[in-house]
């Protein structure tokens, strides 16, 4: 494998070529030169295009960075990485911060220097960080001071991580003196004020490792190259979102989650728009930030839209015009609730860490209830049976995708379960209709088999969610000698609702009246909250422990 990296760790740990998915790179916008650095394309070219004084990033406290400001910070950090921290191209750099301007600057600095960015979820503990350091052989780290402790703990037991610098999220330039505290990035940055000449990486050189959110088991690291980053900017945003240069982006997903990296950094920058980075972005903070920053484009998960819909009427008075939902299936009820409250359809889209970003979606005008959408131009998708044969429209099977991006796990045997015959198998059960719309059914491992019937957990959840007493719910199959599995629902009642036996009966009857009666939950338990990953995904497997 050709690489321009000095440290060839990534190239050496790519899966064998015969285990790769097929890459489709013929469509317009997907042809790239052999030498490509995506930081040059997204940041330095933005300046060349005359966007230097446009606002790139806003953050609380009145912080405003133009494209030139972001470049200035990234260039200084790149110099620190190379000159003070001894980085050579191909080294892995762990990034750890809540979403803030300095995290964005560090991301670009790593890419400019030809490093490989390993962004980590802010909530991870020392043990989980240690596993990432081991897996990716991380030698350098840039970390927000507010999250220093767990990383220092991990570094103490992982000598491969040699070089650490700590920063303040808002990017205080100059004059930071370190006395006894952790080594400050800003102290080093103050010494470098010349432009940084980006490393001329190969288009196929790995530039980021994204760890999967790990609803179960050992986390996997997916490898993405400079070309992949540019490819996702030229697919879903170009064909579905179609942002404008005066758009203002906001959202909840961390930049360590590729949903957030694309939606809150790469996509706005690819059109010269601006992004608002919030360290805390739960629904109340989003609702406050939308009018405060003149947000036009929102990225968050279905649960967030359910809570935000209470603010829908107030949000109609703001500049908000596009709302993207991903990370989890969007129930038809949530789509309807949002439309009623806010007046504009949600843009649903399924993406995956393995494919970097969204590959099936529909814009506001083409949305259909219950459907994720149609395949994004540049990608191909089909529904397959267990033998990998395409099934006719209307049949439930496994979702298979290919396009300009695809799964390459870093040194992991699970490569051959995700990629078969050139197709990426996402682990989702889907149905495609005659018009090419894809309807999510379940994760393939969330299909319940009860008394011989196949039941998809999300279908029962959607039916329950339509009842006004239900705030959130999750449905699992609990092993049972007689029925194989018993459909069991965990319900978080709406505030003020009495969770009693009468409500159990009411909810069961309600489900029986809206979907096939054999799908009703024989057991209903009430809960205060549901277990979720840091990316907002329901962890149904954890509910088994509560039985």
Identified binder of ligand 3UK from the candidate list 139, 206, 353, 405, rule CB under 6 A: 353
Q: Are 480 and 521 in contact (CB under 8 A)?
A: no
Q: Can residue 467 be called a binding residue for ligand 3UK (CB under 6 A)?
A: no
Q: Which is nearer to ligand 3UK, 417 or 513 (CB)?
A: 417
Minimal distance in Å, beta carbon 236 to ligand 3UK? 8
Please check whether residue 235 is in contact with residue 379, taking contact to mean a CB–CB distance below 8 angstroms: yes
Match 């994760």 to its residue by tokens: 443
> Which token pair is 41?
């394309």
Name the minimum Å distance from CB 397 to ligand 3UK. Answer: 14
User: Which residue minimizes CB distance to ligand 3UK?
Assistant: 351
Q: Does 95 bind ligand 3UK (CB under 6 A)?
A: no
CB of 87 or CB of 223, closer to ligand 3UK: 223
**How far from 116 is each of 32, 93, 99, 273, 303, CA to CA, in Å?**
20, 6, 19, 25, 32
Q: How far is the CB of 224 from ligand 3UK (least distance, A)?
A: 11
Is 328 an interacting residue with respect to ligand 3UK (CB under 6 A)? yes
The rounded distance, in Å, linking the Cα atoms of 385 and 486 is 25
Residue 46 or residue 221: which is nearer to ligand 3UK going by CB? 221
The one among 273, 329, 410, 456 contacting ligand 3UK by CB under 6 A? 329
Q: Is 258 in the site for ligand 3UK (CB under 6 A)?
A: yes
Cβ 118 vs Cβ 140: under 8 Å: no
Residue 547: enclosing H or E segment and its boundaries? none
Q: How far is the CB of 427 from ligand 3UK (least distance, A)?
A: 6
Neighbour-count burial of 514, counting CB atoms closer than 10 A to its CB (0-12 exposed, 13-18 middle, 19+ buried): middle
Residue span binding ligand 3UK (CB under 6 A) among the ranges 62-70, 79-87, 156-164, 327-335: 327-335
92-96 and 116-120 beta bridge pairing: parallel
Task: Check: CB of residue 439 under 8 Å from CB of residue 371.
Answer: yes
Q: How far is the CB of 257 from ligand 3UK (least distance, A)?
A: 6
* Burial class of 48 by CB neighbour count within 10 A (0 to 12, 13 to 18, 19+): exposed
| Cα 458 from chain centre | 20
Query: DSSP state, 240?
Result: I
Backbone angles phi, psi at 522, to 5 degrees: -70, -30
- Binds ligand 3UK by CB under 6 A, chosen from 196, 211, 259, 439: 259
Q: Is 404 in the site for ligand 3UK (CB under 6 A)?
A: no
Nearest approach in angstroms of CB 535 to ligand 3UK is: 5
**457 vs 488, beta carbon nearer ligand 3UK:** 457
Instruction: Mark residues 497-526: x for contact with ligand 3UK by CB under 6 A, - for none.
Output: ------------------------------
CB of 25 to ligand 3UK, least distance (A): 20
Question: Is 60 a binder of ligand 3UK (CB under 6 A)?
Answer: no
CA dist., res. 164 & res. 162, Å (int): 7
488 or 535: CB nearest ligand 3UK: 535
Contacts of 516 (CB under 8 A, 6+ apart): none
Shorter beta-carbon distance to ligand 3UK: residue 78 or 475? 475
Helix ranges restricted to H, 65-144? 67-79, 101-112, 126-136
At a CB cut-off of 8 Å and minimum separation 6, what does 351 contact? 236, 258, 259, 262, 326, 357, 358, 359
Binds ligand 3UK (CB under 6 A): choice among 60, 182, 294, 427: 427
Q: Which of 100, 206, 212, 424 binds ligand 3UK (CB under 6 A)?
A: 212
- HSE at residue 45, side-chain half, CA atoms within 13 A, is 11
Residues in 213-232 at the binding interface with ligand 3UK, rule: CB under 6 A: 213
Segment 330 to 349, residues that bind ligand 3UK, using CB under 6 A: 330, 348-349
Count of positions on this chain that bind ligand 3UK (CB under 6 A):
24
Q: Which of 440, 460, 486, 524 binds ligand 3UK (CB under 6 A)?
A: 440
CB 491 within 8 A of CB 470: yes
Using CB under 6 A, list all residues that contact ligand 3UK. Answer: 212-213, 258-259, 326-330, 348-353, 357-358, 372, 426-428, 440, 443, 535
């Amino acid at each position: 494998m050709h690489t321009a990296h000095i440290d060839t760790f990534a190239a050496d740990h790519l899966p064998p070529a015969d285990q790769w998915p097929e890459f489709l790179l013929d469509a317009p916008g997907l042809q790239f030169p052999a030498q490509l650095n995506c930081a040059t394309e997204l940041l330095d070219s933005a300046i060349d295009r005359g966007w230097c004084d446009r606002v790139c990033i806003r953050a609380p406290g009145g912080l405003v960075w133009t494209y030139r400001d972001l470049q200035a910070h990234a260039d200084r950090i790149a110099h620190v990485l190379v000159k003070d921290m001894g980085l050579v191209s191909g080294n892995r750099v762990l990034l750890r911060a809540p979403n803030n301007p300095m995290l964005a600057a560090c991301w670009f600095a790593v890419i400019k220097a030809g490093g490989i960015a390993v962004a980590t979820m802010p909530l991870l503990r020392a043990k989980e960080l240690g596993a990432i350091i081991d897996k990716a052989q991380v030698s350098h780290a840039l970390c927000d001071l507010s999250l220093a402790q767990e990383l220092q703990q991990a570094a103490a037991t992982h000598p491969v991580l040699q070089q650490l610098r700590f920063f303040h999220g808002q990017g205080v330039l100059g004059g930071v003196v370190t006395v006894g505290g952790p080594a400050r990035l800003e102290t080093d940055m103050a010494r470098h004020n010349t432009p940084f000449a980006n490393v001329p990486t190969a288009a196929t050189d790995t530039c980021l490792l994204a760890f999967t959110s790990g609803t179960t088991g050992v986390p996997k690291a997916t490898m993405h190259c400079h070309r992949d980053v540019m490819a996702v900017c030229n697919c879903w945003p170009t064909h579905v979102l179609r942002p404008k240069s005066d758009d203002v982006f906001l959202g909840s997903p961390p930049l360590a989650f590729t949903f957030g990296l694309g939606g809150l950094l790469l996509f706005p920058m690819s059109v010269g728009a601006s992004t608002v980075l919030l360290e805390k972005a739960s629904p109340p903070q989003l609702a406050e930030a939308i009018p405060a920053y003149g947000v036009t484009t929102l990225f968050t998960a279905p649960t967030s839209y359910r809570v935000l819909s209470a603010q829908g009427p107030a949000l109609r008075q703001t500049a908000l015009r596009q709302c993207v939902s991903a990370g989890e299936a969007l129930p038809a009820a949530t789509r309807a609730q949002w439309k009623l409250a806010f007046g504009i359809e949600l843009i649903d889209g399924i993406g995956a860490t393995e494919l970097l970003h969204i590959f099936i979606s529909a814009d506001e005008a083409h949305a259909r209830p219950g459907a994720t959408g149609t395949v994004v131009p540049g990608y191909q998708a089909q529904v397959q049976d267990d033998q990998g044969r395409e099934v006719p429209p209307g049949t439930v099977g496994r979702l298979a995708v290919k396009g300009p991006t695809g799964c390459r796990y870093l040194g992991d045997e699970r490569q051959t379960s995700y990629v078969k015959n050139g197709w990426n198998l996402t682990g989702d059960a889907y149905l495609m209709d005659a018009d090419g719309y894809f309807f999510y059914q379940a994760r393939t491992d969330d299909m319940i088999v009860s008394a011989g019937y196949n039941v998809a957990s999300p279908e029962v959840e959607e039916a329950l969610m339509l009842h006004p007493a239900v705030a959130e719910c999750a449905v699992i199959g609990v092993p049972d000698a007689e029925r194989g599995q018993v459909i069991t629902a965990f319900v978080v009642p709406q505030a003020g609702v009495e969770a009693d036996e009468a409500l159990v009966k009411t909810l069961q009857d309600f489900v029986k009246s809206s979907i096939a009666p054999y799908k009703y939950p024989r057991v209903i338990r009430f809960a205060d909250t549901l277990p979720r990953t840091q990316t907002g995904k329901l962890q149904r497997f954890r509910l088994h422990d509560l039985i």
